[in-house]
């Protein structure tokens, strides 16, 4: 028997609006369905539809759809892969396919959204994004291989559009936009690295090499805490069910993080 009141579509739309989400916003969503608690009839689908309803036809919703399983096994740490199996793993791993490859560790809301009609996913084999709305096709196009969270990424396009980040039951440790700040900032220890991924070419599947940065998210929670203290006008806090939720200016966060990184790293 369900004794407590279910979390309804109407409740979710009211809570999104109370948080500050309005029609026509462009939002990058980080989410944890489990954190909302209670029972939501329709589950992840209802959460997505409620947010899209508030954004309306003029708003664009974007999510990260990263695929760390397509990195070279020499980089794996949790758990590491025995070097004697590296070649076998590389041979067996399918090439990245925007329509087929499952994201890693992004949560059920992301995986459900990815399958929704009208969603477009970018082509980066490690750090893709998926979006639905007026800007989806434009923002997902031409996602550069080199520095996939940098100036040729959907993150930069959201930044240029003065978009927002919605953190639904998540923290700054997984706030991907701070990686854009790492790309922009000049910090001690910043260096270029080489990454590998399997992609489809005219000759079939190939493991290709591209450039990236030695990103480090260990201090992202500190950046977020300082951002909230120093820039109270750039973010709002609320509740979605039992989950803590934050809506913040992506441009404001990135600009703040650039200065923080150049000062503290």
> What residue ranges do the domains of the chain occupy?
9-69+97-264
Residues 6+ away with beta carbon under 8 Å from 40: 6, 7, 8, 12, 33, 46, 47, 241
Strands of the sheet containing 129-132, edge to edge, are 120-121, 129-132, 60-64, 26-31, 164-168, 243-249, 235-240
Q: Walk along the chain (265 residues) and give the pLDDT tens digit of each residue.
A: 556 889 999 999 999 999 999 999 999 999 999 999 989 999 999 999 999 999 999 999 999 999 999 999 999 988 899 999 999 999 999 999 999 999 999 999 999 999 999 999 999 999 999 999 999 999 999 999 999 999 999 999 999 999 999 999 999 999 999 999 999 999 999 999 999 999 999 999 999 999 999 999 999 999 999 999 999 999 999 999 999 999 999 999 999 999 999 999 9
* pTM across the whole model: 0.95
Is the CA virtual torsion 139, 140, 146, 147 positive or negative? positive
Q: Supply the pLDDT for residue 131.
A: 98
| Helices 220-230 and 250-264, axial angle in degrees (round to 10) | 120
Q: What integer pLDDT is reported at residue 109 of this predicted model?
A: 98
């Amino acid at each position: 028997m369900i004794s407590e009141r279910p979390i309804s579509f109407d409740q979710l739309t009211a809570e999104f609006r109370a948080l500050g989400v309005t029609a026509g916003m462009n939002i990058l969503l980080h989410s944890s369905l489990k954190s909302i608690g209670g029972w939501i009839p329709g589950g992840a689908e209802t959460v997505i539809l409620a947010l899209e309803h508030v954004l309306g036809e003029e708003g664009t919703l974007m999510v990260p759809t990263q695929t760390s399983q397509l990195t070279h096994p020499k980089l794996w740490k949790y758990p590491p892969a025995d070097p004697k199996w590296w070649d076998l793993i590389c041979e067996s791993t399918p090439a990245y396919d925007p329509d087929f490859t499952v994201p890693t560790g992004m949560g059920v809301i992301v995986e459900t959204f990815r399958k929704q009609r009208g969603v477009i996913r970018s082509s980066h084999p490690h750090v893709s994004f998926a979006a639905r709305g007026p800007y989806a096709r434009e923002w997902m196009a031409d996602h550069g291989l080199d520095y996939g969270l940098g100036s040729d990424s959907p993150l930069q396009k959201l930044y240029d559009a003065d978009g927002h980040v919605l953190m639904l039951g998540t923290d700054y440790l997984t706030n991907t936009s701070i990686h854009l700040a790492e790309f922009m900032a000049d910090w001690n220890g910043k260096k270029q690295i080489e990454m590998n991924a399997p992609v489809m070419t005219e000759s079939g599947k190939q493991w290709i090499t591209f450039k990236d940065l030695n990103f480090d998210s260990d201090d992202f929670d500190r950046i977020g805490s300082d951002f909230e203290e120093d820039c109270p006008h750039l973010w709002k806090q609320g509740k979605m069910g039992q989950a803590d939720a934050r809506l913040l200016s992506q441009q404001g966060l990135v600009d703040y993080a650039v200065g923080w990184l150049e000062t503290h790293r």
